Structure 1
Amino acid sequence: MRRIQAGSALSAFGLGFTVPYLYVYVAQVRDLGATTAGVVLAVFAMAALVVLPFSGRAIDRRGPVPVLLVASGLAAVGAVGMGLASSVPAAVGAAALLGAGTAVLQPALATMIVWCSEPAGRTRAFALQFFLQNLGLGLGGLIGGQLVDVGRPDSFLLLFSIEAVMFLVLAAVVGTVRMAGSPALQGARPADGKGGGIRALLGHKAMVQLCVLGFVLFFACYGQFESGLAAYGTEAAGIAPSTLGLALAANTAVIVLAQFLVLRFVERRKRTRVIAAVGLIWALAWIIAGYAGLGHGSQAMATAAFVSTYALFGLGEAMLSPTVAPLVADLAPESMVGSYNSAFALVKQLALAVGPAVGGPMGASLHGPYIVTFVLFSLLVTVLAVRLGKQLTPVQNQPSLAAKPSRIVAQHQPEKETAAAA
């Protein structure tokens, strides 16, 4: 588990070097124009949507380690290719490889965490992963910002090379893991790689509801960070572009500082109630954002309110990290852990693709409707979480109830199978 967490953190550290600067690099440094930069970002996202439906099945059939090694290699090649790209085809091709590789890393890592943990310890394992990934992204972005120089393409080649090296380090670290020796895996690895496929997943009512809830969560928060909310802040609230960086820093700081304090609160409470509380916190965040852009206070107050919005989002994220990912794992049957993780990653990617497309234009021009829309989406999170709670067993909703993990929980049986076993 320590190796998996270290590799995950290092890969996030590498991503932090380049993610904030990809648009600027393509559009300005390589002088390929804003349109090409938009296409590159779209290809990056579409590549993830293409590979994720297949990655889960591959993880279940071959195991997460071989899939992660291939994905890390693709991502490393894509990173180097992006650093060398001086034409549109080269940039688009590199973006496809980079997007496909990085998209598969998360479900593969999540499956490895599931295989190396018992249900009772899974909450802390996923919370630690989220903490380390955010810390890695923040440090990578901070260091990358000191190395980058728009006037020197070689400085970007250095950033992409560091990113590629981090992917290879991830592969090397995870490649040393011998998962079959873990006592936590007894009965957890699929013996024949056979699962029920997409039809079985769609027939699992609780998982379908969780995916719908996940889409709304990512659409209402992550899908707005660098698009609609940024546009709203600059257009409606008069926020300086530099303040956007401060707001994102506040978001990361809250996650890093609050993660393990929040964990103590989350561990002893029902997961769906925690998610419902996140919806209320985010509704408050959007109301404060509304004050920043639509209120009549001073610019200093508007700036403080806008930064507070990002901070409240960070608090909600810290509450979700030990809640949602472990729930996906606990709902998955033994032979479909990879498929369930990949399906949820696909839902997240769809939300991240749709969120900017919807929120960007609204945040830039329809300021009032934009705030009202996302206050309602945040409240919808609360409603969906309460409904999901009715589909879960008591232990699935609150693992702390099980002083000793049962065979049914350890095998991640859907609730239909649980009822039959009972």
Structure 2
Amino acid sequence: MRGLRRWWDDSAGGLPATFWYLWSGLLINRAGAFAMLFLSLYLTAARGASPALAGLVVGAYGAGGAAGTLLGGVLADRWGRRATLLAAHLGAAGLMVALAFSRHLLVIAVLAALVGVVHSMPSPAFVAAIVDVVPEDRRARAFNLQFWAFNLGMAVASLLAGVLAEASFLALFLVDAGTTLAAAAVLALKVPETLDRRIRVPATTGRRPGLHTALTDRVFLVFVGLTFLLAVLTMQTSTIMPLAMRDDGLRPSAYGMVVALGGALIVAGQLFVPRLIAPYRKATVLSVSTGLMALGFGVLAVADELPLYLGAAVVWTVGQMLAAPPNAQINADLAPPELRARYQSVFYLTFPAASFVAPALGGLSLEHLGERHWLVVGALGLVAAAGHLLAGPSRERRVDTLRAAVAGREKALAGKR
């Protein structure tokens, strides 16, 4: 019993109630966000769209997501985290209902782009709110739990989507809208506004701090670039690996087993990660984790049977699990308090960018290089691993500077009270 209590304290103990309501809203949001997983199938099977047209509509959803990420960051710093989360969730629910009853393909395309916007808006606000309410020494736990909830929710969404799509596409969209409203209800009833407008870090230039601050912050952008390389590696599992497995004569069910194994490992083991990595510097953990991902994908250069694919999946999934908490925490630590959500929005742009680059360049690489493609992917991972070691000291100096500035402002505010 004491061992179980110690494990709970190490993985999730001591976090404020507001975090758990945010966490619950995120879990409900992810578990219910399943309609867009079947958008291309819905368009071709129920609306008579060609595969090419369906691809364009899905692309509109992705483009809307990129815009929504930036918009969500700006609004979360201006309106507040709670207002942005509620606006995004309510908007998503309404748009899902509109999609359920829309028949014209042009209308569906416009609605899909708008859904992309509102689906991406909450990400910066969720993370900024977590940073607002969770003390710094417990943020690694919080971000670890956030990553776990995201993956658990996506696993549930994938299962529910398949069942609902076979029963009724109308039900697929309406149930999605219902779960989105449920998440909005949790946020509306239990999550207060977490943005503290009193604390400001002075601008180091004559310009007013804004989105451009994040886009010109060299230390932060180096970190974003390294995260982009990590995201390109991660995207291999859903873009290029299925093609490689098909070329090796493996059935789609084999690909499903590899993906399911990764998800099962994350759900079963992610809560043990904070205690494992706590003694080490974040840069070291990120270097090791990215190196493991490089090794896992590099092994695919000689993989042609399912057991080797499964073994490689274990290696790169462990790398992903180790990377998630420090990656999120560094991103939070590098952001000035009044720009937390804007910094998050720039950070989250790495994922739609990687989702474009990974299949576009990866397909060409696989076609021309064959199995040597995986050696290129492994080399990219090693570059990112080395980059984290080299960039770690400058990140740590920046974080110390920001902490000192915030502490000075808090002391000045306390003196005025």
Q: TM-score, normalised by structure 1?
A: 0.84
Q: Distance in 1 between matches of 2:185 and 2:369?
A: 49
- Equivalent residue number for residue 233 of structure 1: 245
Q: Which runs of 5+ in 1 are unaligned?
A: 294-301, 398-405, 414-422
Q: Does 1:242 align with 2:245?
A: no
| Cα distance change of structure 1 residues 192 and 206 upon mapping to structure 2, 3 Å threshold | closer
SS of the residue aligned with 1:321? helix
Question: What corresponds to 2:379 in structure 1?
Answer: 376
Corresponding residue number in structure 1 for 2:121: 104
Q: Does the CA-based 8 Å contact 1:278-1:319 persist in structure 2?
A: yes
Q: How does 1:353-372 map to 2 (within 5 A)?
A: 353-363=356-366, 366-372=369-375
Tell whether the 8 Å contact from 2:219 to 2:395 is kept in structure 1 after alignment.
yes
By how many angstroms is 1:167 displaced?
1.5
Post-superposition offset of 1:290: 1.7
Q: Say if 2:147 is the partner of 1:130.
A: yes
Distance 1:362 1:321 in 2: 27
**Equivalent of 2:131, from 105, 114, 137?**
114
CA contact (8 A) 1:8 1:133 kept: yes
1:324 aligns with 2:327: yes
- The match for 2:87 among 53, 61, 70 is 70
RMSD of aligned residue pairs (Cα, Å): 2.7
Offset of residue 261 of structure 1: 1.8
Q: Does 1:218 align with 2:231?
A: yes
Report how far residue 191 of structure 1 moved: 10
The alpha-carbon deviation at position 98 of structure 1 amounts to 1.4
Please name the residue that 1:401 is paired with.
Answer: none
Which residue number in structure 1 is paired with residue 299 of structure 2?
A: 288
Shift of 1:202: 3.6
Q: CA deviation at 1:307?
A: 2.6
Separation in structure 2 between the aligned mates of residue 255 and residue 178 of structure 1, nearest angstrom:
27
- 1:239-258 deviation line (CA, Å, top 9, x unaligned): 21122221111110111112
Aligned residues: 387
Aligned equivalents of 1:280, 1:68: Cα separation in 2: 35
The question of 1:392 aligning with 2:391 is answered: no
Is 1:5 the counterpart of 2:8? The answer is no
Query: Cα gap change, 1:12/1:192 in structure 2, threshold over 3 Å: closer, same or farther?
Result: farther
Residue identity opposite 2:150 in structure 1: Q
Q: Which amino acid aligns with 2:117?
A: A
Matches within 5 A, 1:26-41: 26-41=43-58
Distance 1:178 1:250, change over 3 A: closer
| 3-state SS in 2 of match to 1:323 | helix
| CA deviation profile, 1:192-226 (whole Å, cap 9, x unmatched) | 999612332244332111111111111121x2222
Question: Once the two structures are superposed, what CA deviation does each residue of 1:16-55 show, in whole Å capped at 9, x if it has no partner?
Answer: x334422222223332121122112211111122233333
Name the CA distance, whole Å, in 1 between partners of 2:390 and 2:129. 29
Query: Normalising by structure 2, what TM-score?
Result: 0.85
The match for 1:88 is: 105
Task: Look up the SS of the partner of 1:179 in the other structure.
Answer: coil
Give the secondary structure class of the aligned counterpart of 1:391. Answer: helix
Query: What is the CA distance between 1:279 and its match in structure 2?
Result: 1.8
The aligned amino acid for 1:171 is A
CA deviations over 1:332-358 (Å, ceiling 9, x no partner): 111100111111011222122222222
Return closer, same or farther for 1:389/1:51 CA change in 2, 3 Å cut-off.
same
Counterpart CA distance in 1 for 2:201 and 2:218 is 25
Match of 2:283 among 272, 283, 288: 272
